[in-house]
């Protein structure tokens, strides 16, 4: 389970060889006014494994762009089966590891790692560990499952000051291999970060937590917070989609307003960011799939219209959108009609989906990434107050995870999973506002309640 994220004053380092048309693009370095970047940037991050030579799995050190690393049961691979950007990536087998032999002298905030299965190997798991003394390492974030042959990005909150060393450990054992590439380190904001915002009160879209610690700092281009009156979301500029959207649903949001169908760009994004247009999905074979649904916001015309902003959309296969998700959304409103209020978080991960025109990884000339998976978490509470404190180990929480492809059915119950599994796949902390003791129980469960 992810630990709650701390607010950072930070910058995100970019890897210049990534192309938005082909890979997750990372931002150009942008420093906040109070941030000193020299120590981290001199270490050579991001690390793309494009320098150095190590062709055997035998434990040994190699000098990379960021400095000296020890590769244990790992090598630098450049075959066609190695998943990579550029010419090389790290390949790890058994319980091998990648470890820095140098210190990051100004701490580490969020660390991002791209990962994929090697060749046709089976799914494997791995973890990120960190040390402030070069000897005692602690696990950071959750155990991450790698199940795709396409590079996916995991964001892990290290949040350590001072000197930091990092280790990536393959934990699942066996001969199945993993590739790692494009490791970035976001400098920690210092020993006296600004205080966190107050905990959201009842009926707020972030009452149950901010799953990625998204902020309105414009340098956070892959985790930018848009907190709207109708919903809140973390926007990923370089994918052109939200990573997650969160909203509250009760009877006050429902009324007689008609569906507006006014799909349009969101002009509240920071200046200079590409704005996905209402026509950007045209001819792609993918629906403009709502996260916060139109039918959840019918109290006023303005509330309904807000759901048609393209920052609330993902490229969603027509079957997934119109059949599977429509059935779940209708059921959610049925739960509301039965006297409940709902807290709903929906998100995506992975790269590449299949719409009516076939498989695509990006659309709109590479400016929008098509997700591989679409997930949702629904917290069901009787209408009341002090909502966070009322979530108990007996509270019904529905979590589903579906493939973004044709062929999915209206039986959404078959896609139920645990929040722990979603967090392992995404690196998020979905219900971060709940007490840890409650999270540990409810996030491990798989719902088995009624589906209609």
More confident residue, 18 or 75: 75
| pLDDT score, position 191 | 37
93: left (phi over 0), alpha (psi -120 to 50) or beta: beta
The answer as to whether 133 is a domain residue is yes
Q: Which whole number is the average pLDDT over 45-63?
A: 94
The answer as to whether 430 is a domain residue is yes
State yes or no: 448 annotated in a binding site: no
The answer as to whether 23 is a domain residue is no
- Are residues 307 and 399 located together in one domain of the fold? yes
Answer yes or no: are the C-beta atoms of 242 and 330 closer than 8 Å.
no
Whether residue 29 is predicted with pLDDT greater than 60 in this model: the reply is no
Whether residue 93 is predicted with pLDDT greater than 90 in this model: the reply is yes
Separation of alpha carbons 411 and 91, rounded Å: 39
- Are residues 238 and 127 located together in one domain of the fold? no
CA distances from 84 to 80, 167, 341, 342, 369 (A): 9, 19, 45, 41, 17
- Are residues 315 and 417 located together in one domain of the fold? yes
Average pLDDT, the chain: 87
- Are residues 276 and 415 located together in one domain of the fold? yes
Residue at a domain's end among 156, 185, 214: 185
Whether residue 7 is predicted with pLDDT greater than 60 in this model: the reply is no
Six token digits for residue 1? 């389970």
* Tally of domains within the chain: 2
- Are residues 244 and 164 located together in one domain of the fold? no
Whether residue 405 is predicted with pLDDT greater than 90 in this model: the reply is yes
Domain, as residue range, for 264? 224-442
The answer as to whether 381 is a domain residue is yes
- Are residues 176 and 273 located together in one domain of the fold? no
Whether residue 439 is predicted with pLDDT greater than 70 in this model: the reply is yes
User: Model confidence at 105, in pLDDT bands (50, 70, 90)?
Assistant: confident
The answer as to whether 46 is a domain residue is yes
Lowest-confidence range among 2-6, 139-143, 289-293, 325-329? Answer: 2-6
CA distances from 187 to 39, 112, 115, 428 (A): 9, 12, 21, 19
| pLDDT score, position 189 | 60
- Are residues 160 and 248 located together in one domain of the fold? no
Residue at a domain's end among 185, 213, 233: 185
Whether residue 4 is predicted with pLDDT greater than 50 in this model: the reply is no
- At 343-382, the pLDDT tens digits run 999 999 999 999 999 999 999 999 999 999 999 999 999 9
The answer as to whether 3 is a domain residue is no
Q: Which whole number is the average pLDDT over 385-399?
A: 96
The answer as to whether 202 is a domain residue is no
**CA neighbor of 106 nearest in space, from 43, 46, 51, 169:** 43
159: left (phi over 0), alpha (psi -120 to 50) or beta: left
Residue at a domain's end among 185, 205, 238: 185
| pLDDT score, position 332 | 98
Domain with residue 63: its CATH number is 2.60.120.260
Whether residue 294 is predicted with pLDDT greater than 60 in this model: the reply is yes
Q: Which whole number is the average pLDDT over 112-133?
A: 94
- Are residues 370 and 263 located together in one domain of the fold? yes
Q: Which whole number is the average pLDDT over 1-24?
A: 36
- Are residues 240 and 366 located together in one domain of the fold? yes
The answer as to whether 239 is a domain residue is yes
Catalytic residues: 290
Answer yes or no: are the C-beta atoms of 403 and 350 closer than 8 Å.
no
- Are residues 236 and 287 located together in one domain of the fold? yes
- At 159-216, the pLDDT tens digits run 888 899 999 999 999 999 999 999 988 877 643 334 444 446 789 999 999 999 999 9
Domain with residue 291: its CATH number is 3.40.570.10
The pTM for the full model equals 0.61
- Are residues 136 and 259 located together in one domain of the fold? no
- Are residues 251 and 390 located together in one domain of the fold? yes
Q: Which whole number is the average pLDDT over 23-43?
A: 33
């Amino acid at each position: 389970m992810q630990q709650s994220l701390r607010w950072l004053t930070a910058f995100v380092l970019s890897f210049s060889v990534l192309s938005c048309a082909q890979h997750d693009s990372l931002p150009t370095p942008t420093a906040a006014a109070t941030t000193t970047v020299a120590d981290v940037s001199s270490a050579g991050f991001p690390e793309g494994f494009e320098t150095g030579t190590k062709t055997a799995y035998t434990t040994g050190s190699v000098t990379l762009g960021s400095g000296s690393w020890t590769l244990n049961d790992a090598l630098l691979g450049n075959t066609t089966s190695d998943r990579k950007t550029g010419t090389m990536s790290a390949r790890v087998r058994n319980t091998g590891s990648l470890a820095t032999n140098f210190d990051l002298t100004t701490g580490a905030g969020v660390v991002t790692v791209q990962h994929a299965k090697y060749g046709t190997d089976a799914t494997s798991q791995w973890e990120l560990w960190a040390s402030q003394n070069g000897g005692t390492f602690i696990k950071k974030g959750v155990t991450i499952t790698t199940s795709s042959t396409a590079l996916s990005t995991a964001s892990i909150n290290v949040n350590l000051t001072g000197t930091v060393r990092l280790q990536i450990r393959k934990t699942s054992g066996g001969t199945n291999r993993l590739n790692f590439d494009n490791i970035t380190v976001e400098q920690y904001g210092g020993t006296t970060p600004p205080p966190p915002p107050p905990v959201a009160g009842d009926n707020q879209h972030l009452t149950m937590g901010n799953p990625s610690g998204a902020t309105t700092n414009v340098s956070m281009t892959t985790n930018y917070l848009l907190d709207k009156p109708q919903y809140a979301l973390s926007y990923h500029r370089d994918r052109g989609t939200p990573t997650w959207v969160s909203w509250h649903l009760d009877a006050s949001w429902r009324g007689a307003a008609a569906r507006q169908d006014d799909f349009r760009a969101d002009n509240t994004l920071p200046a200079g960011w590409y704005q996905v247009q209402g026509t950007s999905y045209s001819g792609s074979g993918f629906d403009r799939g709502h996260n916060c649904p139109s039918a959840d916001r019918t109290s006023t015309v303005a509330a309904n219209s807000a759901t048609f902003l393209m920052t609330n959309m993902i490229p969603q296969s027509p079957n997934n959108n119109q059949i599977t998700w429509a059935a779940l959304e209708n059921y959610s409103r049925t739960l509301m009609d039965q006297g409940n209020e709902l807290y709903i978080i929906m998100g995506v991960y992975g790269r590449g989906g299949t719409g009516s025109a076939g498989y695509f990884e990006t659309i709109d000339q590479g400016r929008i990434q098509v997700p591989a998976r679409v997930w949702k978490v629904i917290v069901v509470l009787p209408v009341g107050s002090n909502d966070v404190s009322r979530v108990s180990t007996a509270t019904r929480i529905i979590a589903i995870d579906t493939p973004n492809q044709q062929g999915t059915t209206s039986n959404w119950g078959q896609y139920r999973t645990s929040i722990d599994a979603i967090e392992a796949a995404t690196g998020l902390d979905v219900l971060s506002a709940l007490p840890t003791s409650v999270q540990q129980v409810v996030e491990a469960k798989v719902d088995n309640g009624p589906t209609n």
